[in-house]
Each structure stands twice: as C-alpha cells, then as structure tokens.
Structure 1
Amino acid sequence: MSLWRLSKLFIIVLAVLAVLAFVQVTLANQTLKSSIGPTSESEKALLWEDATKSFEIGNYNDAIRLFERLIHRYPSSPNHLKAHFYLGQAYLKTNNPTNALTPLKYFCEATGKTELGIQGKLLLSEAYLEVKKFHEAYLAAQEIIQLHKKHAFPSEFWMLALIHKAQAQTKLNHDYDATLTLEQARTELQENQSLLKGKAAWVELQLKVKKCEKLGNYHFTKLNESQTRSQIERRGTCLLESLILYLGVLQANEKKLALLSTAQMTASFQNYSKICMHPPLPAVLPTGKHTKKQINQYQKELIEVLTQDCKLQQEKARQLLTSLKDQIPPTMKAHIEDVIKKVGS
C-alpha cells in the first residue's frame, strides 16, 4: 500500500475516533443532567420534607439517600446543617457508625458549645464507641461533662455523657475509673429514665462479666481440689449476679442493647460450660506417692465432681432466668429464652 493511501486511512480512523468521542461525551452529559438536573426551590423544600418524614417513621435508608442529596445539591439550604445532624443519626440507626462520623463532626464544628452542639457531640461519642475508637469517645464525653459545669444543659445530656465515658473506660480496661463514673451517673438517674438506666446497666454488666471471667484462671495459680471447686462455684455465682444486671438492660426495651447484652450473657455462659466440661486439674495432688493409674483415676473423679458442681450452678441460672421473664417487656422475652437454651450447652 502506498504512503498516500496509508495517510488517507489514518485520517479516516482519526475522524471516526473523534466522532465516537463526541458521542460519548454527549451521552455522559445527558446522563449527568438526568441524574443531577437543575436545582430548584421546590425540590429543596420537598427533599427536606420527604427526608424528615422518612426519618420520623423509621425509613432510615430512604432518609439517608434524601439527606445526602439535599446536602450535596443545596449547600445554601437553611436546613443544610440540620441535615447533617439527621444524617449522622440515620447512619447510627442503620448500624453504619463509620459513615456517621463525617456528618456528625461537621455538625459539631458548626454548632460548637450550644445545646445543639452537645446533642451532636453525644452522637459523635456514640459513633466513636461503635467504631472502637474508645479514646476519642472518652474525650468527646469528657468535653460534654466539662461543659455541663458551665452551662445549664439538660441533665440527661450529662448523664448520657457519663455513661459513654464509663463505656470507653471499660473498653480501655480502666475498670475502677469506669465504676466511679457509673456511680456518679446513678446519683441522678430517675425511675422513669428507662433507656438511660438500661445503658448504665449494660456498662455495669460488662464490668461484672469481666470480674467473673477472672475467676477460674487456674493456670496462674496452683490450687488444690477444694480451691478449684471454690473457684468454679464463685464464677457460677458471679454469673448469677450478672443476670440481675442483664434484667436491667432488657427492661429498657431497646433492641440494640438487648442484642448486645444477650450476646454477652450467652458467650459468658458458654465459656463457663467449657470450664465445666474440661476443667483444669489442680496442680497439687493429694500427698503421697501414686501410680500413674491412681493419678488418672483421681483426675477422672475430680472432673466428674467439678462437672456436677457446674451443672448445679447452670440449673440455678435457668431457674433465675425463667423467673425474670415476667419482669420484662413482652418484646424482650425471646432474648431471655435464647440465653436459657444456651446455658449448659
């Protein structure tokens, strides 16, 4: 093929590519226009109305979509700031705390030390707890507590901040400090504040279970038979006591708290069952010389005794849980029944 023909073919190819590129850009612009479109006062008002309505009736995914659209398309809207507040809450309601951080930070920075700002800071502290940023959660809660000393904010804000602080301290293994913080909150809790009482009971339950699970760490200490039996009994008794706190959580009638506390109690009793079924043997055997056969027999008998001790504690737990069912809202009874099934399993 001659050079002239090659040049002509090259020019034709370039022309075709240019046409294709133009078509692509045109289609992209049309798509962009159809997805974004021109802004309008009527759409701005409608977005806010539909978003808040979806939020109020619990359609949080729809609310998220609408609030996001309002924020991005109408930054000059008088509801732009409130949209961030609602958006952060909606993300928390749908178990997306990571996505809640950005709108809540924006809201807190814009509202500062006002009452609205404190509400936003409480939600931000909650989001930090959910994403396991416990130090940040502690700092956010502590800031609210300090502000409460200077401003006449509702006492509920202060109490919730104390509960968030105690939760952060618990996760940071500052258990003694967490206990003191909870005691401070309990001095102000009223009988009708069931949700706050439930949140406080949830933190206290976690602290109690941590104490229970320290009992029975036999590999740290040499124990004789009676000491080993005592440790297993004490751990079982400790878990029985924790069930009263579990009741306090369920009485709040809040789904997330119920799920968290039920998972905690189920795991704690399952761990107890493992110790019951496979108890560590005492490091100190009865005095005197024994044959290998005698030692094996001694171990077998000890396991049988310890297993019976554990079963007795588990039966007490089932009876207590059954008696507690009448003291909680009907919607919470399934959670107790779930724990009853798994005690001793």
Structure 2
Amino acid sequence: MESDLPIRKIIHVDMDAYYASVAQLDDPSLVGKPIAVGGGGTRGVISAASYEARTFGVRSAMSGALAKKLCPELIFVRTNFERYQELSEKIRAIFFEYTDLVEPLSLDEAYLDVTVNKKGNPSASMIAAEIREKIKARTGLNASAGISINKFIAKVASDINKPNGQKTVAPEDVLPFLETLDIKKFYGVGKVMKEKMYRHGIYTGADLKKKSVAFLQEHFGKSGAYYYDIVRGIHHSQVKPERTRKSLAAERTFSENISSEIFMLERLENIALEVERRLKKSKVAGRTITLKIKYRDFTLQTRSKTLPLYISSKELIMENVKDLLYQDEMRDSVRLLGISMSNLNNENPKKTKDISEKIIDVQLKLDF
C-alpha cells in the first residue's frame, strides 16, 4: 500500500437484482422465471432484470421491445417504488445495528464503515456475513457484499461473487487483486473508457499500473490521476452518512409521441404531483425548476428558471412549468417530459458530529 492514512474497514452491500427480486418475493409464481421490471408497451425502458433474464442478454436501460426479442418468454412487471422503499428501510435499519457510518447510494446499496462498530467485532467479513443473513431473514431477499480497506475496492469486490455472496480483499491482498483485475471491472470504467484504455494497451490493473501519471493525464485528462491512485489502492473518500440531496425529479416516457401543448400540460400535471410528493417526503423545497423535454429524434432540451423563494407545492411548480413550456416553440413531437427541482433548502443542514473523526487516530489490528 502506498497511502499513509489509517486503514479502514469498509463494507459495500449491494442487493441482488433488487427490483426484480422484490417482484419475485411478492409473487412466488415468478421465481425462476425471466422477468423485467418496467419496459412494457411499445416504448417502455427496462428498469431492472432478473438473473434469469440476464442470461439472455436482457439489461436495465434496454428497450422492452429489444428485450422481448432477446427473450421471447420475458415477463414484464410494473414498478412498485413504495414497496422498494419499505424494504429498503428495513435493510437500512440492519446497517445501523452495526454502525452509524452508513452512506446509502440508492435504495439497494450502501457503504458501511465498521472500523469501529457497535458490536465490537474486529472482523468486517463476519459483520458482512451477519448483515446478509439478517437481510435474508427479515426481508426474504439476497444481498452480496464487498469488504476491503476503502470504498473503491469494496465496491469492486461486491460484484465478484454475485449473486448471494461476498468477497473480502484484505490489506495484503489489495495490490495483487487490483493488478489481476480486468480493467472493465474497475468501478468508473464504462464502455467508452474501456475501449479507450484498450487502444492504449491497458487491459488489466497491471497494465494500468505501468503507465505514468503524466501518461494517464495526457490521455485521460483529469481522470488520469484518479486511475493512477486507485490501481495502487489509494482512495481517500470517507463514508459520508450525511449525503445532501442536490436535486429531486420525476419524468415520464409516453407510449405515443405528443405534439399538442395541451396534452403536454395534462402529463406535466401528474409529473408535478409526483415531484410535490417527493419534495414533501424529503422535507425540502427548491428554487430552481427545470423542464426536461426529449423529442421524437431523442434530442434533449432543458429549460430552467430560478425563483426568489423556495417552493414545493404542485400548484406553484405548474405555474412555473407553464412559463417554461411556452418559453419557446416545440421543435418536434415529444416522447418524454420531466420536471426537476434543485437549489434545495437543505444545502446547509444542521451538522451532527462527524463520527468518522473517531477512527482517524485508532491503531488498528488488521483482522478482515
């Protein structure tokens, strides 16, 4: 390791095919079958796919039409966000039995810092196993976990033994693990970046480690220094239990393109109602409203305005959305509309004591 910072014990918990697994949990007749959450209709986009569907190449963000071609037996089910939220809260409650340093990334995954934990258990691996067992017992769902010295490696590790497994990368194993890892497995290396790295002869962590920071910055810009560090196991980001929401949004994709502004307003009324519900649930209001418009040819346009006061009601949201809608002529028929609120009134929340400070000076006996 090439960092002087204290080694922490980080767990990344990731639920297995969460939305699809919830559907199978609530309807046992779907167990073992290829299912897709969302994606129904002629224009739907899939939110999640079961592992059975993934064997056919079905993936999230894929059109339902393409998914059906890949898997003719595919079963489409509706999203159920209230149910996802309900189970997510139960899962999160389990996390807090072990530590207050919990950083949720979404409804189905989170980082936990268990360097100092409520159970006094020195083994992060044992804690991860206990958490997964409790999740299964209390919700009926499977979770996978990655355990290591920082968030980056824990995130990568959680994908190694999916589904329903865990992977520990102990301090002495970090460098060998990263060096043998396929570059596409590095968190943050997407399809485009993978191809770019391939063009420079970078296929594994070992290949990446051979490149100088100057080379990486020249070819990958600001990300170069990041890649230089992570392949050496250096990632300083701490688990942050207070993640401040920067924006809140809702959008809808339509089964048929809309060209009438009257019809658009009808759809926007429902979207604004959902934004109001989410604002109230999060106990926030916003000053900046953005109208998102996706046209028939998939080109995207946004129109925004910032208000002098914070708002959260559907009526005030719609009043300003109408102004944005009529601000300019529509270029084409519309396939998607969305409303987002940003510049929220939670930017300076009351700060609680940063629990992570407690672990900075702790001398650790490394037992993973």
Using the size of structure 1 for normalisation, the TM-score is 0.24
Q: Give the greater-gyration-radius structure (CA).
A: 1
- TM-score, normalised via structure 2 length: 0.23
Q: Which structure carries more relative contact order (alpha carbon 8 Å, separation 6+)?
A: 2
Give the number of the structure whose residues are more often strand, by fraction: 2
